[in-house]
Structure 1
Amino acid sequence: AKVCTYLADTGINILDISQTIVSGYFNMMMIVDLSNSTSGFDDVNNELDKLGNEIGVVIKCQREEI
């Protein structure tokens, strides 16, 4: 919930979410749109990394081009 709240507060639109268990680990993939965001990719990446540390999860971001 904290991740979705951060995204909403930053103006990031969630386009799609998928969830699965891989080797016993919960995985969630979100496709998001930053075009209306108040923050750039690098700032969002850094803030989500901090948020992940706070809630005990690993959050990885990558650009669509990758």
Structure 2
Amino acid sequence: MKCIVTVLGKDRVGIIAKVSNYLAEVNVNILDISQSIIDGYFNMIMIVDVSKSKKPIEIISEELPNIGIELGIVINVQHEDIFNCMHRI
């Protein structure tokens, strides 16, 4: 199962490291990643595979936003199908 992880906030050191380390700890594979910094704001979108995760997606969807709060950023996790439906034109 694929999920979309979005990260947005003021740029600071360690954002990618903190998010990717958490995903590695719970055995979530990063399939694709795109990140940019525009006028001091960090934006990242990851496509991840949670099929072999040590934790259910419901727990990951709670824990990643809490990491975002620690970093002063916003992290969202959505199932790929939900993300696609929400962004269909």
Structure 1 and Structure 2 fold alike (TM over 0.5): yes
What is aligned with 2:60?
Answer: 44
Is 1:4 the equivalent of 2:20? yes
> What's the CA shift for 1:26?
2.0
Gaps in structure 1 of 5+ consecutive residues: none
- Paired residues, what number? 66
Higher relative contact order structure (alpha carbons within 8 Å, sequence separation ≥ 6): 2
Query: RMSD across aligned C-alpha pairs, in angstroms?
Result: 1.5
Alpha-carbon distance between aligned partners in 2 of 1:9 and 1:39, rounded to the nearest angstrom: 10
**Residue aligning to 2:47:** 31
What fraction of aligned residue pairs are identical, expressed as a percent? 53
Larger CA Rg, structure 1 vs 2: 2
TM-score normalised by structure 1 residue count: 0.89
Unpaired segments of 5 or more residues in structure 2?
1-16, 83-89
Deviation at 1:22, TM superposition (A): 5.8
Higher fraction of strand: 2
